[in-house]
């Protein structure tokens, strides 16, 4: 198969190029005019690596904590309709049994495969968090972190956990970070009251990302820069929710100015109400009310995830910052792939990498999506508009 466009994103710029695909792998990328025998002509569309959502709880009325194949497959199909080709299903704080069931289900689903976006592994967000900044995590299930507690949670996950969120002020946080890194698991810092020094100790120990920066942490103070200060100044990646509700545009600009375009990771943090009408939903054990697309806890009004899609996050990010597309797109492709140590096979269009391709129109909406060499969305075809998911 050969895909061509006059706006293929290769080596940091949009250019005319043909992408040759052999099975599920990109075989070659050849600059130039549209060659004879082109299978898919995407002229006028930005052709980019598939989007990667590394922090997502649910969508389309399905949730990671449902712990069923159908839930993850529904999320997978919804995500593909929004240009996402890989994702990391994310848990919330719950009983150990429920978290373990969700993680085991991720492992089983990865083995079976999904109809849309590919599952890369799971993200354990809780229970090793701080009560003061728990957000939409039920306090009764929070617990102190230890190697023993981590081993219990990971048991049955089949080695598929990719990220664990940690509040670095916990007494055993540093030894647990070392343990997780020895297992090839990334550590994300957040939902925390940690001071700047505590956070930097965790970064120096190997934590490489911050959970949705600005949210779930004390705000910056000129004498107490805290976790947020560490997130802005360190070399670690910063997750960012660009829905216009979690973080104001000037704060998005500040994060970009501090981190640079290669350390921002756009995430959806979407819960099950993504892509479905406003109403009453559950996020783990907590009741959530969604109004005007904004998800808040029913018992207090705190934000409870989002209904954001990653293609919309990219559009918002560009609008909020004025960042050139060629730089902004890194936050949904190369940066998440690098943060997980998967850039050797994901995150760019080049020979030898998986054939994960997304084409965007001028409004940054997907018109064509390929996962592993299989076409999942092609809006040039009237019978493949996926209108049920593109709301």
User: How many C-alpha atoms does 131 have within 13 Å on its Cβ side?
Assistant: 6
CA distances from 296 to 286, 292, 301, 307, 382 (A): 10, 11, 5, 11, 37
CA distances from 333 to 37, 51, 119 (A): 29, 5, 15
Decide: 124 and 137 in contact? Cβ < 8 Å: no
* E strands, 23-136, in order: 25-31, 40-41, 46-49, 51-56, 58-59, 62-63, 84-89, 118-119, 122-124
The span from the CA of 33 to the CA of 36, in Å, is 10
Burial of 84 (0-12, 13-18, 19+ CB in 10 A): buried
Is residue 269 annotated as part of the catalytic site, yes or no?
A: yes
Phi, psi angles (nearest 5°) of residue 38 = -60, 130
Given the residues 269, 311, 356, 378, the one annotated as active site: 269
For residue 224, what are its two tokens? 């107490």
Residues with catalytic roles: 269
């Amino acid at each position: 198969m050969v895909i061509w466009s006059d706006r293929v994103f290769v080596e940091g710029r949009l250019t005319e190029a043909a992408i040759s695909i052999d099975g599920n792998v990109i075989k070659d990328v050849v600059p130039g005019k549209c060659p004879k025998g082109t299978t898919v002509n995407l002229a006028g569309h930005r052709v980019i690596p598939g989007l990667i959502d590394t922090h997502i709880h649910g969508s389309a009325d399905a949730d990671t904590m449902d712990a069923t194949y159908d839930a993850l497959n529904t999320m997978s199909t919804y995500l593909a309709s929004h240009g996402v080709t890989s994702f990391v299903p994310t848990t919330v704080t719950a009983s150990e049994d429920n978290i373990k069931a969700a993680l085991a289900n991720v492992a089983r689903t990865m083995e079976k495969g999904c109809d849309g976006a590919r599952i890369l592994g799971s993200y354990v967000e809780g229970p090793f968090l701080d009560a003061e900044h728990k957000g939409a995590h039920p306090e009764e299930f929070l617990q102190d972190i230890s190697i023993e507690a981590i081993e219990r949670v990971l048991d049955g996950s089949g080695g598929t956990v990719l990220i664990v969120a940690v509040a670095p002020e916990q007494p055993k946080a540093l030894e647990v970070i070392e343990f997780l890194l020895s297992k090839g698991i990334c550590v994300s810092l957040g939902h925390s009251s940690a001071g700047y020094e505590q956070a930097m100790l965790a970064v120096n120990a190997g934590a490489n990302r911050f959970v949705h920066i600005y949210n779930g942490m004390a705000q910056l103070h000129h004498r107490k820069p805290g976790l947020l200060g560490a997130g802005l100044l360190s070399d670690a990646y910063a997750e960012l929710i660009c829905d216009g509700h979690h973080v104001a545009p000037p704060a998005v600009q500040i994060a970009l100015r501090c981190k640079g375009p290669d350390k921002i990771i756009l995430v959806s943090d979407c819960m099950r109400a993504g892509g479905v009408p406003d109403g009453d939903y559950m996020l783990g054990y907590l009741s959530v009310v969604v109004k005007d697309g904004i998800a808040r806890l029913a018992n207090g009004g705190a934000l409870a995830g989002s209904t954001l899609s990653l293609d919309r996050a990219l559009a918002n990010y560009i609008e909020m910052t004025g960042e050139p597309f060629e730089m902004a797109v890194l936050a949904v492709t190369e940066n998440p792939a690098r943060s997980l140590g998967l850039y050797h096979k994901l995150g760019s269009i080049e020979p030898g990498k998986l054939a994960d391709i997304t084409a965007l129109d001028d409004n940054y909406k997907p018109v064509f999506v390929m996962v592993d060499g299989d076409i999942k969305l092609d809006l040039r075809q009237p019978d493949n508009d996926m209108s049920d998911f593109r709301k």
